[in-house]
A and B are shown apart, each in its own frame.
Chain A
Amino acid sequence: MENLDAARFQMAFTLIFHIIFACIGMVMPFFMVVSHYKWLKTKDPMYLTLTKSWQKGVAIFFVTGAVSGTALSFELGLLWPGFMKHAGPIIGMPFSLEGAAFFVEAIALGFYLYGWNKLPERFHWITGIIVGISGVSSGILVVAANGWMNAPSGFDYIDGQFLNVDPVAAMLNPAWGTQALHMVLAAFTATGFAVAGIHAYQVLKGRNIVLHKKAFHIAITFAAIAAILQPISGDLSAKDIAVRQPVKLAAMEAHYHTEKGAPLYIGGIVDADKGTVTNKIALPGMLSFLAFGDFDAEVKGLNDFPLDERPNVPIVHYAFQIMVGIGSILVLAGVLYFISRKRKKWADKKGYWLVFTLLAPFGFIALEAGWIVTEVGRQPWIIHKIMRTADAVTPMPGIVFSFYMYVAVYTLLAVAVTWLMIRQIKVLNQTTY
């Protein structure tokens, strides 16, 4: 394997892991404080048990997220020194603020985890809220750095030099807003469906049903709202990319020929060599409409771009199809949940709980697919139109061994965390009232 490929695989692999831990660490505190609030209001001991069980989950995911994040902060430089040497100072602002937000989160979590019966009730609960808010803030700030790679701003690029650096303008890059909104909603959707799915499975199995139903309702409410809002944010993102990164949009849609009234392809098998898409459903004019709000607008095709400036079209196209497909299913599931709140009979049927059990991993699959779209879709650039990924990679040979090591360690970590969660739930089920 070439050094560049190994470095890209390693980065992708660690990010795919980190994003799961980070999202759960960002979103679960909100479930935890809602349950905590209900305990304070109702004094129903089940909510206390649930809060304490979720807090252990938060602690485990926070730490795994924190250590994999620490690893990432080094990997940026270890794998892409050419990138960090120039980009580090420019995009340092969101990273340093993210560090601060993360610090606040760690402090608040320290108070929360160890504050039971020691801190005043209200203050203790508020520290839980701070955990959630600072977690989401650090997520949003990190996305600013990624947004900058897609929409580099805040400097003048003259003769290979980065001059007149303005770190604030770099942070407020045009891609940040749409990307951050999309990511926050995705985090809530993915974590919500995953947590709700785990509790739905427990209901399905008839274990400690009352408690797991309470847990399910808290998690799925967040997830359903986020899933229903997500298409709006997706539309904003698509319109943004259509203008800023037309080649990425063309790859997402496997759109080869520039045309007016471009059709939208659903599914389809891409032949990247011939530049054709077969077995697709084509909706006439829809791509033009979704990209520019006009059925007759011209959408640039891949053939208009030089070969060495195109990303891997099949990967981007398939990942995009997966993201949108699952996103649509989750919108339906969200609507289904809100209807079931009126039609209470549905919740008596096993099928209802089976559906939500099966949906558990889908949010995360869509989220990972979405990141593949934006990251693979940005290639061959590490900084859009400024620096190629191939020019940023470390000169040290043999990165492939580092990649294997990361695969081994992270796989072990994933297995261990899953196993711990199963044990956590088993203990929770043995609690009696």
Chain B
Amino acid sequence: MLYVVLFFLLFSLFLYVVLGGADYGAGIIELFSSKENQKITKKTIYRVMGPVWEANHIWIIIVIVILWIAFPNYYHVMVVYLHIPLTIMLLGVTLRGVAFVFRHYDAVIDNSQRLYDAMFKFSSLVTPIFLGMIYGALSSGKIIVTDDVSTLSFYEVFIMPWCNMFSLLIGLFFASLCAFLSSVLLIGESDEGVENIYIRKSAIAAIVVFVIGLITFIYGYSFDYVFVQGFMKSRYAIGILFVSSILILPLWRAIRKGHKVQSRVYAVAQVFLILCAAILAHFPNIIITTTTRMSILDTIAPDSVITALGISLIIGGTVILPGLFHLLVSFKMIKILNRNNTSL
């Protein structure tokens, strides 16, 4: 049953990174667009994300709930030592969600739209950066786990582990990954004639992802960050990352030829592989502190809990996944397939 739980944990994390990530990315694209293109993007985002965005963001709740039920010690370290970035991330999630609804459901369209738009765009950028920073803090070996926090300064225990260059780089990397995913998705969703905007954006985003990724590696390597060292030592991680980078070539061909479904599959596969590489580099030591590496397999809840959770997840999954699939199909895929048929 432990593996069922682990599967759902990683599966939910992956779906959150892809679906939630594309969702954040849409806001980032809008932020970095000209005024004219912002309007087009806003309309497209609403059409694409409207029916599914709430569902997209529930995956993070599933991740958190699985963590606290099955891996309470992990959760404990996260919530105690990363209190501040988690709170900022939450603030971002809140403002972003609210702004999205306000700008699309407000009965009157007037100047307040500009405020909603600004809220939406900026929180779309800040939230994934902080999500990335949290991951960076967990894996960079800077968290100091202590029973008595009063012996150390507030800065050392609660700020330094996440507020550093390396974490910020990981945060920027994740945000650019979101923008990349989203721009590929939007190519297939945009109206005829404006696709070029998103093709251009996806090219820029791909370059940004690559550059930030490279800087992160160089920085991490030269300052001996344990995450990067581990990465370099793991043959699988390097290999997977290599495959992921190679995929840019077929992706680019698919975009040029207008194969919308194919291009998405490639983009999602790239993100999936990057995530796999990051997790594999240290698995099962997901949290690395200054003194120890916490293995996810060492600190699990009692068997009875894991069994009950596994069964709940299987039941939940059989109810939710077909429904979610149907939702995605009803409002998104059908439309794309139709358009492909007419345009081909």
Binding site for B on A (CB under 8 A): 56, 59-60, 62-64, 66-71, 73-74, 76-78, 81, 84-86, 88-90, 92-93, 95-97, 99-100, 102-104, 106-111, 113-115, 118-119, 164-168, 394-398, 402, 405, 409, 413, 416, 420, 423-424, 426-428
Contacts and interface: CB of A to CB of B under 8 A. Distances in A.
Given A73-B64, A110-B327, 8 more contacts: A96-B69, A96-B312, A96-B313, A97-B312, A100-B312, A103-B324, A111-B330, A416-B98
B319 to A, nearest CB: 6
Interface of B: 50-52, 54-55, 57-58, 60-62, 64-66, 68-70, 72-73, 75-76, 78-80, 83, 86-87, 90-91, 93-95, 97-98, 100-102, 105-108, 149, 154, 157-158, 301-302, 304-305, 308-309, 312-313, 315-316, 319-320, 323-324, 327, 330-331
Contacts of A104: 319-320, 323
Contacts of A398: 154
Contacts of A100: 312, 315-316, 319-320
Contacts, number: 198
A71 B90 contact: yes
Contacts of A89: 68-70, 72, 301-302, 305
A68 B105 contact: no
A111 B55 CA distance: 11
Contact of A73 (B54, B65, B312, B324): B65
A88 B75 contact: yes
A63 B54 contact: yes
B106 A167 contact: no
A106 B328 CA distance: 13
Chain B binding site: helix, strand, loop or mixed by DSSP?
A: helix
Contacts of A167: 304-305, 308-309
A297 to B, nearest CB: 39
Nearest to B97: A67
Contact of B87 (A78, A164, A424): A78
A333 to B, nearest CB: 30
A56 B93 CA distance: 21
Nearest 4 pairs of A and B residues by beta carbon: A92-B69, A100-B316, A77-B79, A89-B301
13 contacts: A60-B101, A66-B57, A74-B79, A85-B73, A92-B305, A93-B308, A95-B69, A100-B316, A394-B79, A396-B80, A405-B91, A423-B108, A426-B108
Given A77-B75, A86-B72, A110-B331, A96 B66 contact: yes
A70 B90 contact: yes
Contacts of A59: 101, 105
B141 to A, nearest CB: 20
Contacts of B83: 78, 394, 396, 402
A86 B75 CA distance: 11
A168 B305 CA distance: 9
Contacts of B68: 76-77, 84, 88-89, 92, 95
B107 A426 contact: yes
A164 B302 CA distance: 8
A381 to B, nearest CB: 20
B123 to A, nearest CB: 11
B77 to A, nearest CB: 9
B85 to A, nearest CB: 11
Given A59-B101, A59-B105, A64-B98, A78 B69 contact: no
Contacts of B66: 96
A66 B100 CA distance: 13
A397 B153 CA distance: 11
B149 A114 contact: no
Given A100-B319, A398-B154, A113 B79 contact: no
